[in-house]
Amino acid sequence: MSEITKKLLENTSKPLGAPALLVLEDGAVFSGTSCAAQGEVFGEICFNTSLEGYLEVITDPSYAGQIITMTYPQIGNYGVNREDCQSEKPALRGLVVRDMCQVPSNWRSELTLPDFLRENNVVAIEGVDTRALVRHVRDNGAQRAVLSTLDTDAESLLAKVRASESIVGVNLAETVSRSEKATFGIDDLPKTQAFALTAPAPAKYKVVAYDCGAKLSIFQNLVRVGCELTAVPWDTPAEDVLAMNPDGVFLSNGPGDPDAVSGTYTQVEKLLGKVPVFGICLGHQMMSKAAGAQIEKLKFGHRGGNHPVMNLRTHRVEITAQNHGFGLLFPTLGELIPEESAGETEHRDDLRFWVEKCVAPVVRNEKFGRIQLTHVNLNDGTAEGIAFLDIPAFSVQYHPEASPGPTDAHYLFTAFSRLMDGREDYLDIDIAADRLAGWKFGGEVNA
């Protein structure tokens, strides 16, 4: 930072932070100043491309073990409203921004983001060239990083980060899951959001939700479509879940390597075919693992609110919110069934092949029969959703609850209720008619 910049900052309402350093395991160094708690943290560097919703991102338990870089330049400009938080406390390791706003402007704001971060002991750095950092991660892939306000010696930090633990092979879900079951109903919906949202549907379905690091807004959206939720720990035995006699089972989002969360997917294997199941993000991976599929680690993951996904059943494109670093390898679910895959017999690594053919291919799975590819990421051709055709179960890789993000995928909560009603066409919903469902500004769409 130049001397003139220091002098300018000294005469503004923005305090001048202490020096801070971000060092990646490949030796890349990014300098800045501290803008939250003091400390030294290690995690996997990642980036989120959302233009808004920084509080929901920061409090998403799926970021456990990671240092988040926000690509939008100014963060904190509308402050913090605690009812928008997605968990009781942030699970991320650290935060990287270009500019941290110290004086927010919003009628719902309760406190500044820097104060919230300090309150939760989150280390953050500002003044970083986040465009350069994101380009570096895109080119070189996700990797370990260290963020420090205590040690600003690059060589020292490089040695430390190369000795730190990777998130691969680590069960991070158990670190953010609840320790005992809890219920969620209409009375638990945030009161400060009532100005924008219509009244929820009356409770109709009894649903057990595996909490592997669930975002609260996902539970809230399930409640809004008529679900009475009982959330249970990540490793709850399937026998205990079935003993609750649920109308359906929900598998939540969560952090880290799905291969390490055997305590969940071994139970999911026992549940599939016994009760309707809906999985989101890590829940999608848990269903895939239960069916015997392989999971790959993506180069730099999908994180943000602008990822285009094709629904192969309706041929509609959804702009989706995503947060994951691992993904399903669809060909590992089984061999293609030619008569249900437009005559095709060979798998393709790039699943945009099926987008071009306007076909939702079907494989024969050894455990659960036919499984259909329902959604494909249009950016990189990876799998974004599957449906089990011989048992009542489906899952998607992205987050449909719009916290933060677009509302295009809201229909998936409606689809789950239709699945529990026994409808075969549960996924065939026009998103143009559903995307504003539940919002007061939706007009006749809400009727």
Alpha-carbon distances of 224 from 2, 4, 252, 304, 305, rounded to whole Å: 52, 53, 16, 24, 22
Find the helix or strand (DSSP H, E) in which 22 lies: strand 19-24
- Structure token pair of residue 11: 């005469």
* Count of positions (residues) in the chain: 447
Measuring CA to CA, which residue among 72, 75, 76, 68 is closest to residue 49? 72
The residues that are catalytic are: 281, 399, 401
CA distance 6 to 351: 51
Residue 15: is the preceding peptide bond cis (ω within 30°)?
no
Tell me 201's DSSP state. P
Q: What string of DSSP letters covers 116-159?
A: HHHHTT-EEEES--HHHHHHHHHHH---EEEEESS---HHHHHH
CA distance 334 to 371: 9
**Residues marked as binding for L-glutamine?**
62, 254, 256, 282, 285, 323, 325-326
**Residues marked as binding?**
62, 254, 256, 282, 285, 323, 325-326
